[in-house]
């Protein structure tokens, strides 16, 4: 349901909150990996960081390989240099700007 929501938002040229991917990450597999690939390759900085954090929680081997194909983000996620709290804080600050 969350990925369908993201697809609808993207089709309407609207943003998707990076935090959405936190709920999807542990279950990322199959066709959902195309969404993560899109985020990692063409997403904003926040989307790329969210994808890395979400994939770090994935159980699927293909999802883990996708994350590892973006070595810098994978290393940052493993080292704790990325976290959901700082991602959410940065997004809130960005939305408050006029």
Judged by DSSP in three states, 63 sits in helix
Q: Does residue 95 belong to any structural domain of this protein?
A: no
Residue 96, domain member (yes or no): no
Per the CB < 8 A criterion, the answer to whether 91 and 22 are in contact is: no
pTM greater than the 0.85 cutoff:
yes
Tens digit of pLDDT for each residue in 18-71? 999 999 999 999 999 999 999 999 999 999 999 999 999 999 999 999 999 999
In a domain, 88, yes or no: no
As a three-state string, the secondary structure of 27-55 is HCCCCHHHHHHHHHHHCCHHHHHHHHHHH
Q: Is 98 part of a structural domain of the chain?
A: no
Q: Is the pLDDT of residue 96 over 90?
A: no
Residue 18 is predicted with a pLDDT of 94
Reading the block at residue 72, the tokens are 């810098």
Number of separate domains in the chain = 1
């Amino acid at each position: 349901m969350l990925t369908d929501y993201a697809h609808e938002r993207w089709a309407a040229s609207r943003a998707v909150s990076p935090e959405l991917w936190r709920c999807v990450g542990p279950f990322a597999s199959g066709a959902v990996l195309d969404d993560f690939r899109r985020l990692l390759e063409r997403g904003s900085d926040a989307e790329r960081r969210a994808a890395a954090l979400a994939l770090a929680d994935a159980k699927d081997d293909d999802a883990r390989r996708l994350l590892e194909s973006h070595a810098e983000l994978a290393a940052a996620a493993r080292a704790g240099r990325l976290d959901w709290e700082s991602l959410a804080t940065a997004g809130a600050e960005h939305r408050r700007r006029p």
